[in-house]
Chain A
Amino acid sequence: MRVLMFGWEFPPHIAGGLGTACYGMTRGLARNGVDVTFIVPHAYGDEDQRFIRVVNASDVEAVYGSTESGADDILDKISFIHIDSNMVPYISPEEYESYHEEFVKSGQRVWSKSDCWKQRYTFSGKYGANLMEEVARYAVVAAQVAKDLEGQFDVIHAHDWLTYYAGIAAKRVSGKPLVVHMHATEYDRSGENVNTQVHAIEKTGMQAADCVMAVSNLTRNIVINRYGIPAEKVVTVHNAVRFAEKQSAAPERGVEDKIITFLGRITYQKGPDYFVEAAAKVLKRVPNVRFVMAGSGDMMNHVIRRVARLGIADRFHFTGFLRGEDVHKMFQLSDVYVMPSVSEPFGISPLEAMRSNVPVIISKQSGVAEVLDYAVKVDYWDVDALADAMYALIKYPALANMFSSKGLEEVTNLKWNNVAAKMKTIYERIVEESQNK
């Protein structure tokens, strides 16, 4: 089985679930004997006019720094192709446009330095003037790639709407079946104020696909009910999690108080408001607890003001955007991890917390709730229930111990290998179906 995959760059280059998921999935597929040609958008400077470049897989792996543990053999099964593009995950058409305008005016990159995944990219005049143009341009290049690789793949797999046109183009050129992977829907990102263009691309991609993979039943239901995709075409493929072999030693604790942590982008989708309100309620009852909000995002200033107004700023701390080692450090310093997402297609960060022996509270509106038993689940809007759960986990050690030990066990069994095996059978089925047509 050979897959042409339109994905996203791996961490640590891009902080966010999409790159992480692509990485784990690709490795899992390779272990299951699936060859993956992995195509990612990558912005190069103006000086280089090539549209695509093939990158040696081991070079890429070295950059990400974990070639130990004899994993090298599986890398033979992965090859990388960079398409010169400035697309980045999670970007909205409006954001893209404003960055582009700024660039045209100033000739300089304008992305704020607080987000590390934005930092890498430089805007350049050769790219599309708006995101839709860029998506289309990317598709044209993708079609060329698919043509060049004719006969070298059996199935096409596209991650997230930005690459769907590329997937469709590759399918038209090659006639191979297409799988699209819904990591998030426009409804998750924007609530009810969906961007109709994005919505249309998502819908077109799913209609053109032979199979839609959804990261959770939650997402699958949205795909079926709100995009009108036939249910038999949509399968749930839960994400898994891949951990570094070695856990770094726990950092020395500075403060004795219990620490309850929120870690993620501070945006509407992640429900930071509910975390703050619950924190204020807990602080009324328990003095020796501190809350940490790690991350950055468009709601950060709003949240800081709210914290100040609630008068809890001496017990509610902001770390700003964390990366790499600091993320692990933060998990290891935490006593409770909370993910109160309003809408979370999957949500991988609670798994990372559990891996660090931290009990987690997650919202019922998250996909990850479907695969976890040892997590406290509350409705995101139920601030009282959230506060109750926080209180219980810091006050009753027996409960916290059970969640952390059973949770570690549970999360250790969520392996990409198993997920990839499931994906492989799906690939095989649709390849067979398309040949029989």
Chain B
Amino acid sequence: MKTVCLYFQVHQPWRLKKYRFFNMGKDHNYLDDLANRSIMQKVARQCYLPMNALLLKLIQENKGKFRCSFSITGIAVEQFKAYAPEVLDSFKALAATGCVEFLAETYSHSLAALASKEDFAQQVKLHAAMIKKEFGVKPTAFRNTELIYSDEIGAMVSELGFKTMLAEGARHILGWKSPNYIYANAIDQKMRLLLRNYKLSDDIAFRFSNQGWDEYPLTADKYVSWLTAEDTPGEVINLFMDYETFGEHQGIETGIFDFMKALPKVALGSGQLEFATVSEAAKKYQPVSVLHCPHVMSWADEERDVTAWLGNELQNEAFSKLYGLKEKIAKLKSADFDYVWNFMQTSDHFYYMATKWLSDGDVHSYFNPYDSAYDAFINYMNVLSDFQIEVEKALEAKSKRKSKKA
């Protein structure tokens, strides 16, 4: 009996509006409200609502045998509340079935793990508190932004009290080993790792509708035969993907919903597969080995590294200027400033500044609202510069108030 662990990532960034030098000092609304609302409502209509309804139906039909996991960023939840509250309700309905696990992650879908321990801890705690508030459970498993992972990051997550973490089943880390087992972190061996089976995950997420693919069209029967096959050895098959795969990246016309509708029945009917959430799967098996990952990896691009976010001088500059503000933000203790601070950390802003267009340019440009990396950088820095000025002003006002009181 093999365990199938389905995990979906839900995220939408707050997109920045065109913010010019002339806006600086006068205009402190940084967001493109129209784009944010229309994209959120479109994705809700095409993906979140129909897919949540389908999953709820599958859970009810299979009487608890169909299970899956989610992580939803704080930034996405903020946008649900602003533009599509019914989506949040439908996630709550899924939570109420007890068959769905919600993982912890960074609140902003941020790169804080690469900035510092404090920044990271703050982001994770903020997210865990949000999950507790919205879904009533304290998350025990963790997934980092874009599956960014290293031995150190794993240890850091363990220190924060999590027992299980997701990572990419990257070829350069695994070598001959299979991703279909539980592994342990190299520094803290109590931390269990679930590794994404990128081949089987991408068969759904990327290749499903590709008519040039020699396995096209993919049916539930065919897919289950791969999962149960002898040459897919192991105990846990981890299928991790963006939730927007369903209805967005793979539109309804590709048959992706029909595929997902059929999958649980065929899988369970085979008698060789069962479904489990992330924490359930981690508890069920013992780690087979320690996984050494001294360098940071992610699930992105052919290289599986972090150069899509921190790979050129533009990204490094924006990153260091952003996190240079953290002490001041902490001193301010203001909800208004925290709100901006959080959405500015979102990794998507850095992704737009990537200049590595050669290998995975298609994916990059698909999500990119800017004409070029340079435009993205200029716009981000203009917003950040204005935010900096506002932070300084607020700090000054605060210290004046204090000295008055004294």
Binary contact readout B311-342 vs A (1 if CB under 8 angstroms, 0 otherwise): 01110111011000000000000000000000
Majority DSSP secondary structure for residues of B touching A = helix
Chain B positions 265-316 with a Cβ under 8 Å from a chain A Cβ:
312-314, 316
Closest to A311 in B: B317
* Least Cβ–Cβ distance between B26 and chain A, in angstroms: 4
Chain A positions 272-305 with a Cβ under 8 Å from a chain B Cβ:
290, 292, 300-301, 304-305
Residue B39 CB within 8 A of the other chain: no
* Least Cβ–Cβ distance between B376 and chain A, in angstroms: 11
Closest to B23 in A: A254
Residue A313 CB within 8 A of the other chain: yes
With known contacts A255-B389, A318-B378, A308–B21 Cβ distance under 8 A = no
Residue A424 CB within 8 A of the other chain: no
What residues of A have a CB within 8 angstroms of the CB of B25 in the complex? Answer: 253-256
Interface pair A313/B374, CB less than 8 Å apart: no
Interface pair B388/A314, CB less than 8 Å apart: yes
Binary contact readout B372-386 vs A (1 if CB under 8 angstroms, 0 otherwise): 101001100110110
Interface pair B374/A301, CB less than 8 Å apart: yes
Binary contact readout A408-435 vs B (1 if CB under 8 angstroms, 0 otherwise): 0000000000000000000000000000
Chain B positions 1-46 with a Cβ under 8 Å from a chain A Cβ:
20-26
Distance of A305 Cα from B318 Cα, bound (Å): 12
What residues of B have a CB within 8 angstroms of the CB of A329 in the complex? Answer: 22
What residues of B have a CB within 8 angstroms of the CB of A311 in the complex? Answer: 317, 320-321
Distance of A307 Cα from B385 Cα, bound (Å): 14
What residues of A have a CB within 8 angstroms of the CB of B317 in the complex? Answer: 307-309, 311, 313
Distance of A313 Cα from B319 Cα, bound (Å): 11
Residue A382 CB within 8 A of the other chain: no
Interface pair A314/B381, CB less than 8 Å apart: yes
Majority DSSP secondary structure for residues of A touching B = mixed
Selected contact of A317 from candidates B316, B382, B389, CB within 8 Å: B382
With known contacts A255-B389, A313-B317, A314-B385, A304–B23 Cβ distance under 8 A = no
Interface pair B384/A314, CB less than 8 Å apart: yes
Selected contact of A326 from candidates B22, B313, B385, B388, CB within 8 Å: B22
Residue A315 CB within 8 A of the other chain: yes
Distance of A252 Cα from B81 Cα, bound (Å): 36
Selected contact of A305 from candidates B314, B320, B385, B389, CB within 8 Å: B314
Binary contact readout A320-332 vs B (1 if CB under 8 angstroms, 0 otherwise): 1000001001000
What residues of B have a CB within 8 angstroms of the CB of A253 in the complex? Answer: 25
Residue A319 CB within 8 A of the other chain: yes
Interface pair B320/A317, CB less than 8 Å apart: no
Most buried by B among A308, A318, A320, A329: A308
Closest to B385 in A: A314
Distance of A290 Cα from B20 Cα, bound (Å): 14
What residues of B have a CB within 8 angstroms of the CB of A254 in the complex? Answer: 22-26
Distance of A284 Cα from B98 Cα, bound (Å): 58
Give the size of the chain A interface in residues (CB under 8 angstroms).
26
With known contacts A304-B314, A308-B377, A313–B21 Cβ distance under 8 A = no
* Least Cβ–Cβ distance between B384 and chain A, in angstroms: 6
Closest to A310 in B: B317
Closest to A251 in B: B22
* Least Cβ–Cβ distance between A126 and chain B, in angstroms: 31
**Total number of residue pairs linking A and B with CB closer than 8 Å:** 64
* Least Cβ–Cβ distance between A378 and chain B, in angstroms: 25
What residues of A have a CB within 8 angstroms of the CB of B21 in the complex? Answer: 292, 317-319
* Least Cβ–Cβ distance between B73 and chain A, in angstroms: 26
Selected contact of B321 from candidates A255, A304, A313, CB within 8 Å: A313
Selected contact of A315 from candidates B313, B316, B385, CB within 8 Å: B385
Distance of A435 Cα from B384 Cα, bound (Å): 68
Binary contact readout A130-156 vs B (1 if CB under 8 angstroms, 0 otherwise): 000000000000000000000000000
Binary contact readout A386-425 vs B (1 if CB under 8 angstroms, 0 otherwise): 0000000000000000000000000000000000000000
Distance of A251 Cα from B25 Cα, bound (Å): 12
What residues of B have a CB within 8 angstroms of the CB of A251 in the complex? Answer: 22
What residues of B have a CB within 8 angstroms of the CB of A300 in the complex? Answer: 374
Interface pair B22/A308, CB less than 8 Å apart: no
What residues of A have a CB within 8 angstroms of the CB of B314 in the complex? Answer: 304-305, 308, 313
What residues of B have a CB within 8 angstroms of the CB of A317 in the complex? Answer: 21, 24, 378, 381-382, 385
With known contacts A308-B316, A313-B318, A315-B385, A255–B374 Cβ distance under 8 A = no
Distance of A251 Cα from B20 Cα, bound (Å): 15
What residues of A have a CB within 8 angstroms of the CB of B320 in the complex? Answer: 311
* Least Cβ–Cβ distance between A372 and chain B, in angstroms: 27
Closest to B388 in A: A314
What residues of B have a CB within 8 angstroms of the CB of A256 in the complex? Answer: 25
What residues of A have a CB within 8 angstroms of the CB of B385 in the complex? Answer: 290, 314-315, 317
With known contacts A317-B381, A317-B385, A318-B378, A309–B22 Cβ distance under 8 A = no
Distance of A307 Cα from B321 Cα, bound (Å): 13
What residues of B have a CB within 8 angstroms of the CB of A255 in the complex? Answer: 24-25, 389
Chain B positions 337-394 with a Cβ under 8 Å from a chain A Cβ:
372, 374, 377-378, 381-382, 384-385, 388-389
Distance of A318 Cα from B312 Cα, bound (Å): 19
Distance of A255 Cα from B393 Cα, bound (Å): 11
What residues of B have a CB within 8 angstroms of the CB of A308 in the complex? Answer: 313-314, 316-318, 377
Distance of A301 Cα from B376 Cα, bound (Å): 12
Closest to B321 in A: A314
What residues of B have a CB within 8 angstroms of the CB of A326 in the complex? Answer: 22
* Least Cβ–Cβ distance between B108 and chain A, in angstroms: 20
What residues of B have a CB within 8 angstroms of the CB of A318 in the complex? Answer: 21, 378
What residues of B have a CB within 8 angstroms of the CB of A292 in the complex? Answer: 21
What residues of A have a CB within 8 angstroms of the CB of B23 in the complex? Answer: 254
Distance of A304 Cα from B317 Cα, bound (Å): 11
What residues of B have a CB within 8 angstroms of the CB of A309 in the complex? Answer: 313, 317
What residues of A have a CB within 8 angstroms of the CB of B372 in the complex? Answer: 301
What residues of A have a CB within 8 angstroms of the CB of B26 in the complex? Answer: 252, 254
Distance of A311 Cα from B382 Cα, bound (Å): 14
Distance of A308 Cα from B317 Cα, bound (Å): 5
Most buried by A among B312, B321, B374, B389: B374
Closest to B25 in A: A254
Most buried by A among B21, B313, B389: B21
What residues of A have a CB within 8 angstroms of the CB of B312 in the complex? Answer: 305
* Least Cβ–Cβ distance between A193 and chain B, in angstroms: 26
Closest to B27 in A: A254
Closest to A326 in B: B22
What residues of A have a CB within 8 angstroms of the CB of B313 in the complex? Answer: 305, 308-309
- The 7 tightest CB contacts between A and B, nearest first, are A254-B25, A308-B317, A255-B25, A308-B313, A254-B26, A317-B21, A309-B313
Apart from A255-B389, A314-B321, A319-B22, 19 more pairs, CB < 8 Å: A251-B22, A254-B22, A254-B23, A254-B25, A255-B25, A292-B21, A300-B374, A304-B314, A304-B377, A308-B316, A313-B321, A313-B377, A314-B385, A315-B385, A317-B381, A318-B378, A319-B21, A320-B20, A326-B22
15 A-B pairs in the complex with CB atoms less than 8 angstroms apart: A254-B24, A301-B372, A304-B374, A308-B313, A309-B313, A311-B321, A313-B321, A317-B21, A317-B24, A317-B378, A318-B378, A319-B20, A319-B22, A320-B20, A333-B22
